Chain A
């Protein structure tokens, strides 16, 4: 069974089509990643699932029901911009959201989560005194304190330091282990690669990727050479059969054309410099993202136009 299903959903704001004929299915019990450039329609899609926006067309089915707002009790939602009452104390605001959602007292759960996120000392302080990272963690607690079966997180890792990112990531993984379905949007491709069972990419309101990481990478084939060389990036200029070179400092990724022989390319590189490592790889999610939404893709689209 799917936790969330969208069928031919369209949403416009004036003359702008934010989401265009979008269909997707989020299986239960998975972590489903939404990626896409800014303004591509990620948040609008999540808000439609949350019943904050109504779609102009199409059907949205949440936890088996397509009645508007009928399963809202069963969804935990963390908005992109944080929505906590700044003048309330941390514990009070978390209890408020928890009780509002569940209709029962959630004191114990709140205290447990505060302890887990190292916020116990801040429980009786006002939200406005929290740092951005603390505020983010408090917002996450408000989202999951009632243990909803479906959790929607809009860019949950933004603004967190590595330690807090790890804490939050573990919490998200634990939610899935406990049977919850987690949908989150992110700009961090490495997070999406490492955490998501399924990845969905939206670009200019339309779905451009949807599937597991390996199925997406398979669609692009083994067209990437990842190398470490002694000399700098300049020694990789003007290689035959190489479309693009991305320099990560210590390593470089070369995207090959479909008729390129990797062995010949390796030989040519070795003729120019010493090669320390060489790997024929699938493209990274980052690379796929850039291919779809980067400046080169824009230029190609303009040329086609």
Chain B
């Protein structure tokens, strides 16, 4: 064991004393969190130019309501309440008489107007939207624009169109709208944890309110951190072992220690590197999060398990990658084996959101080989109840 630790110590010192390690320590989270930073930086940088929507209303019951809804929106929602600055584009609705004889030509003309920039989009409302029947085309509401999938206007239209249709249906049923106004009110369902019993105080504790950031963000961040640690601690083993084999360093080491001890020393060194980097990230993260007064969201009870699973994952992946490295004869071989070597690391990343969303035993057992770093993603959901609290009722 003394020799194993001596090899591990060398591996660790050589790794953490390099400029590459320090740079990776700083750059890796920036790269990983780059998209988040980009979203934050670009959040308020929206196109505030006015947008015109042409509406071809074959039903004759929606277009005017859309004009009113757009005017209401333009009056209430496009300016910052404090600064008065325009923060969203105004929507203008242009009603176009339907061409019932040649609707295809009308669609082409409107499309050309969109292409020329005269319109942002056009909406074609089918004649039977009020009472949808079996004819899908007749009850279709079609939104045409250059980029209809990622379009804020399309998202906004859903509410005023459906509200108007509901009002018309209520009126046709002979019901006074003012008496059933609350039938159209939509209530959200609040997500809460389970009520628990606190043995310390002897009182029943109210359930904590959970949110998406906590439920998805925490396990996602921890999983990405584990992924990064694997990349820093385990992935270099493939190239390191290949180089030591090619440079005959392995011969020198193997003239002193058994191959198992040699590999074990290298893996322990990799574990040390990952522990160092993860400790920096975790401690740094805790300090930053507490500084932002978000300390209540830090899952302290999960952190020990995070480290346990991370160590297990690095040992497993390190062993696989070191073995692959020992099979390589030159850097080309190592390059070729890098991708297959990364597959066991990537699969848990692909499984991240299915596991978070549909956490179940079945998912865990369906990927036993990769379970080591899939499981922690579920800790956020399962550990608080099974380890800290005793269920009541």
Contact = CB atoms under 8 A, between A and B. Distances in A.
A148 to B, nearest CB: 10
Contacts of B252: 77, 79, 83-84, 97, 142
Given A87-B14, A100-B3, A103-B3, A82 B255 contact: no
Interface string A40-82: 0000000100111000000000000000010011011101111
Contacts of B254: 50-52
A100 B6 contact: yes
Interface of B is mostly: helix
A72 B256 contact: yes
Contacts of B250: 83
A278 interface: no
Indicate the member of A47, A79, A84, A88 with the most B CB atoms within 10 Å: A79
Contact of A47 (B2, B3, B14, B251): B251
B294 to A, nearest CB: 42
Nearest to B18: A87
B257 to A, nearest CB: 7
A185 to B, nearest CB: 14
A114 to B, nearest CB: 18
Given A83-B250, A84-B249, A96-B10, A52 B255 contact: yes
B258 interface: yes
Given A51-B254, A72-B255, A75-B255, A85 B249 contact: yes
A85 B250 CA distance: 10
Nearest to A88: B14
Nearest to B9: A96
A103 B256 CA distance: 11
A246 B285 CA distance: 79
B130 to A, nearest CB: 77
Interface string B242-267: 00000111111111111000000000
Interface of A is mostly: loop
Contact of A103 (B2, B10, B248, B249): B2
B230 interface: no
B249 A83 contact: yes
Contact of B247 (A76, A83, A103, A142): A83
Interface in B296-329: none
B248 A50 contact: no
A99 B10 CA distance: 11
Nearest to B255: A77
Interface residues on A, range: 20 to 34
Contacts of A233: none
Contacts of B249: 83-85
Interface residues of B, number: 18
Interface in B252-286: 252-258
Contacts of B10: 96
A294 to B, nearest CB: 30
A84 B248 CA distance: 8
Contacts of B248: 79-83
Indicate the member of A51, A73, A75, A85 with the most B CB atoms within 10 Å: A85
Given A79-B248, A81-B248, A84-B249, A99 B256 contact: no
Contacts of B14: 85, 87-88
B17 to A, nearest CB: 10
Nearest to A96: B10
Contacts of A73: 256
Nearest to B254: A52
A86 interface: yes
B289 to A, nearest CB: 37
A52 B2 contact: no
B14 to A, nearest CB: 7
Interface in B1-29: 2-3, 6-7, 10, 14
Nearest to A97: B252
Contacts of A76: 255
A101 interface: yes
A100 B247 contact: no
Indicate the member of B3, B247, B251 with the most A CB atoms within 10 Å: B251
A91 to B, nearest CB: 14
A97 B251 contact: no
Contacts of B2: 103
Interface in B88-104: none
A82 B251 CA distance: 9
A46 B249 CA distance: 16
A77 B6 CA distance: 19
A103 B255 CA distance: 14
A84 B254 CA distance: 13
11 contacts: A50-B254, A52-B251, A52-B254, A72-B255, A72-B257, A75-B255, A82-B247, A83-B247, A83-B252, A97-B256, A100-B253
Given A51-B254, A73-B256, 11 more contacts: A50-B251, A50-B254, A77-B255, A80-B248, A81-B247, A82-B247, A83-B252, A84-B252, A85-B249, A88-B14, A99-B6
- Report the 9 A-B pairs with minimum CB-CB distance, sorted nearest first: A83-B248, A77-B255, A83-B252, A83-B249, A79-B251, A81-B248, A79-B248, A101-B256, A50-B255
Interface of A: 47, 50-52, 69, 72-73, 75-77, 79-88, 96-97, 99-101, 103, 142
